[in-house]
Amino acid sequence: MSRYILISPSADYERTVRASIAPLRGSLQFYQAAYLPDSPEDMLRQQTGEPPEVLILGPGLPLDEALKFAAVLDLQYPEISIVLTAEDDGETALNAMRSGVRDIISPAADSDAVRALVERASLSAAGRRRGLAPTAVEGIGSDGGRIIAVMSPKGGVGKTTIASNLAIGLGQIAPMSVVIVDLDLQFGDVASGLMLEPEYTITDAVVGAASQDAMVLKTYLSLHPGSIYALCAPRNPIEMDRITGEHISHLLRQLRSEFQYVVVDTAPGLGEHVLATLEQATDAVWVCGMDIPSIRGLRTGFRILSELDLLPDNRHVVLNMADRKTGLTVQDVEATIGAPVDVVLPRSRTVPFSTNKGVPLLHDGGRDLVAKGLRQLVERFKPNWEARPHKKLHRRAVVS
């Protein structure tokens, strides 16, 4: 059972935290005070049994004293994750992270947000106790997590829908260790597809304190109920001009150091930001519609990127909106692009309904053929997928 400590003069906040951690099967020790102990030892010597995993510095504590206490605790007991409850003004986040604070959360955050953050802090504490680096996250290798670029040379093939569902599916495998990045900087739809109203966007994340510290960057992400994070596209398409390919490369390296999976929904085509993404990507999910322009566009994209040596090692081809009535077969698509189709998603009325509702199929528990195909795509990114002895690299799909 996980153990948590909360220090705050607010009894109302104690009730919020207690309700938040109830699903985590953890115990909470609450100290109702507007001041901090003289030292971490004074706090910990009052504990019995297993040491705590997470210390929550709640609202009502003097900020300067809280940061000093956090710095001492992080130095003496690095296996304990520290969460600070405070309004983030950028500078506060930077000072907090430098003091060893794991995450910052607003005092007005609801129970779901508190639960998700505390759960992530618990995972970090578990990693530290196993002897991992202080900022390491379970499932991240020495080179960082996997960067999955969801690509298509042509627009209108359902790329954002697939990227969103892939992120949700991976979030079910690795909760709180997945982030989706909307790199369609002019007309990105990840926020609407996930029913999010982000406080910050990618424009905020590539400048200032967030670009200097990966822990600060995490405070700029939006939390989704599917146990994933999102970094959404700019609110104004004009802001695209302020973001360079170098910004994108640096951003993805930062996220890779903190997350097991970074899913990138790219813009159609092969622009500067897409090429910067491919330079960092470990995997590419290529989305193709069942129409001649889309198929030929994918073939051309493969050829150009092969010449530029920008094809990621791991390739996953998804044929979306498959339908025999188009006059084409899966075999036709494969012959044209010169590669096997790994996942076939048939045309379905549930997809636009899901998109309009703002709830991805895999978050809604869908059971139709599209949801089944999306789960097959998610399976390909499980850590042991390559090692499966009877894995079928390609199975001929039948489109009804």
Report the pLDDT value the prediction gives residue 136, as an integer from 0 to 100.
42
Q: Determine the structural domain holding residue 44 and report its residue range.
A: 3-129
Domain annotation covers residue 392? no
Residue 237 is given by DSSP the state: G
Whole-angstrom distance, CA of residue 1 vs CA of residue 27: 7
Domain boundary among 78, 103, 129: 129
Mean pLDDT per 10-residue segment, the chain (400 residues): 84 91 82 91 78 90 92 86 86 82 88 85 68 47 83 90 95 90 92 90 87 79 88 90 93 92 93 93 93 91 90 90 85 91 90 85 84 93 70 45
- Say yes or no: 212 and 114 in one domain: no
Do the bridges between strand 261-266 and strand 222-224 make them parallel or antiparallel, or are there none, so unpaired?
Answer: unpaired
Q: How many domains is the chain built from?
A: 2
Distances (CA, A) of 213 to 39, 93, 105, 184, 200: 27, 10, 17, 24, 16
- Say yes or no: 165 and 276 in one domain: yes
Whole-angstrom distance, CA of residue 21 vs CA of residue 2: 9
Distances (CA, A) of 240 to 145, 201, 204, 254: 26, 11, 12, 20
Q: Which distant-in-sequence residues (6+ apart) come within 8 Å of 269 by Cβ?
A: 153
Distances (CA, A) of 117 to 87, 175, 267: 15, 11, 30
- Say yes or no: 183 and 327 in one domain: yes
- Say yes or no: 290 and 340 in one domain: yes
- Say yes or no: 201 and 313 in one domain: yes
- Say yes or no: 93 and 179 in one domain: no
Domain annotation covers residue 278? yes
For helices 330-337 and 292-307, give the axis angle rounded to 10 degrees: 30
- Say yes or no: 113 and 150 in one domain: no
Q: Is 284 helix (H, G, I), strand (E, B) or coil?
A: strand
- Say yes or no: 279 and 361 in one domain: yes
Domain boundary among 98, 129, 160: 129
CATH number of the domain within which 96 lies: 3.40.50.2300
**What's the pTM value of the predicted model, to 2 decimals?**
0.69
- Say yes or no: 162 and 223 in one domain: yes
- Say yes or no: 124 and 150 in one domain: no
Domain annotation covers residue 140? no
- Say yes or no: 80 and 54 in one domain: yes
CATH number of the domain within which 191 lies: 3.40.50.300
- Say yes or no: 180 and 213 in one domain: yes
Report the pLDDT value the prediction gives residue 129, as an integer from 0 to 100.
61
